[in-house]
Structure 1
Amino acid sequence: MKLLRIEDNEEHAMFRRTIKAFLAGLRELEPEWEETGIVPRSVWLKAGELGMLGPTVPEEYGGLGLDRRFAAIAIEEQARALLSGPGFCGHSNMTTPYITRYGTHEQKAKWLPGTVTGEVVTALAMTEPDAGSDLKAIRTTAIRDGDDYVINGSKIFITNGISADLFIVACKTDPTARAKGISLMLVEADRPGFEKARNLKKLGRKTQDTAELFFENVRIPAANLLGEDGKGFAHMMTELAWERLQAGIEALGACEGMMDQTIEYTKNRRAFGKSISEFQNTRFKLAELATQIQFLRVMVDRCLDLACEDKLDGTTAAMIKYSSSELQGRVADECLQLHGGNGYMWEYPICRAYADARIQRIWAGTSEIMKEIIARDLFE
């Protein structure tokens, strides 16, 4: 599908071609990974070789020191390929930026080079069984004990939770406070008392491991505090606008990928003596979706400009997250319908894409929370 987009410069175009070729080679392996529920580390290492992991990490710490447009290209192309895993985005663009922005020189030097090569996989551990959208209500604690913190609690729905070597864990260092009692901790996977529990069975994104985590008297050095004590919630809010834009970029790529699949399918599938693409209903449905996706493309490109300048505000980020995830759901539904019975078969990419799309309206803040954020800004 041909859409208006900001033209890649030569460097962006070369990076896009490299990523596209790499992802195309992963498609045939996806069914095997769906069975195991995890992607081999060798795939992460290859992605690291290609510069796909942490392209924005400063060169001083082993990265490429590039702007967020390179990260956006990687997110968009993986989504357009309709691959449900690996969890590259959660690692490179959600977790690693916390270390880049808030880490000490020692923390950056210790961890960032490995995150770029794929030797160290990271995960962001915020959500708890009773605290999803309301992060102020988390119960996992990290209590200071001399030169250490002792962590107790649990997390759930953690992307890369089985694969990860290093976790950024949101904890209450002051259990009596809400937002001002939250701090971020770097927790290595091999710490005594830390348990990776189930690799959760999900509706979609089956190749992206998602775990339950338990912490029982997990002792970490005070040097593993990331950022300032009591400023964890503020740190998370600072990163949240970029995280929500990533949801928009991913939704856009998936919408374009689903449209490409559906256009090709309707050209080749015949009914009543002609291809499905010749029926007016098919043409009009796809014309409607193409128009809506084009509007999303323009908004994503504008928000990406703002993000690269650190000017993307929370309300605009909520708008892009809400509108993009809702559109992705509509595109998935309409495109599956145009596949007929085949669309319900797991072997068809549109079936996987339909299942994968559903989480978009939930993660990084539900659509309902996004509307609340937008409305709050309207009435202030």
Structure 2
Amino acid sequence: MFRITDATDLAAGADGVSSRRARSDENFVVSADASQLERSEATAWASHSLYLADAGLAATLQSLRYPLIVKPSRGLLSRGVQKVSDAPSMRRAVRSLAQDGLAEHGILIETYVDGPELDANFVLRDGRVLFLEVTDNMPCLGDASTAALTDNFMETVQISSSALPRPEKDTIRASLLDSLLRLGFRSGVFHVEARMAHSAMHYRPHPSGVVDLAPRAAPLASPPPDVFLIEVNAREPGTAGTWATLYTYGVDLGSLQVLRALGDQEGERFAALTTPFAFPEDAVVGGGGGAQYWTAHCIVPIHRDDLYIPGNFVARVCAALPDVAPYVSRAELYAPAGTRVSPTAGSGWMAYFLLFSRESREHLLLMYQRVTEVSRRVLDEASGYCDARVTLTEARSSL
């Protein structure tokens, strides 16, 4: 059991900002710990290993508006992130985190924002934005209005560049830059996760069967679009995300992070390496911003217990999808070949594919669907599950 303590008294005011800027090591602690980060945003309550039933918390708990997100204060791969609809499910979620060993550093309870999720990759120098990439995180199981407590928030596919309208991208840029500066960060590479509340866009099914962002039938009257910060990572995105940015924009976030670590961010080399491809800002193909095409970062989950990872997994998937294979720019295993893996706390990844298209986002998403289906069946077949069926007719069906 846990007690939720009100963290609004730790919201970053002028004194808080100046103290964080004075000690850069504390900035990294704040960005690594979700509870400290969101205290600076004055939006969340952190828990410490006491009791949810504490009488002093009654007013705070009763004031919370459901649905809420319950998650580990320090997380990895969205493990343990749960959406709860009422007080009993909130308590069950807290207990499950403790049972799964995910509550060591505390538990965070925050407002669930029903809006498009996004990643924003910033490169800063002296508080100025040298490069910004915004990607769309497509909906996951936990986003569904009918989601159960067991439905997780593990990422599925990310598309760059974002389909959000230009005014909302400008809001993302200004709002998240302000958050970074208030945390004391002025130079470096930052991977920021957020949601766009009250967006003019929402996810809906298309006639082809894919789900993607589309304009709302009627714009929301109020309030205006706003950014809800989820977390700040004082680093480049993960392996696949770093490759995706390099292939899409020609900007190597990993190399920039190394230069920053070497103290070279003031030189011309650092600035030069933040320059994307010379495609027009308003180009249709790729969504603009220097992108040469649309990219999908497709995550292959560990979808069941005791999956065997074949060493030729990528080759088998590509062989089953000869019309998709030419659009695979990169693919790698996360799990060692020849091992057996199971989900941890209900989630886990075993590989990724980077797909590209100069045709459309819809083309990307159709290919993603087929890669996901075939990946699952290849894994099931390799693992000896009797329900695995991978037929060439099914796998090679045309787009």
TM-score, length-normalised on structure 2?
0.29
User: Per residue, is there more strand in 1 or in 2?
Assistant: 2
**Relative contact order higher in (CA < 8 Å, ≥ 6 apart):** 1
More helix by share: 1
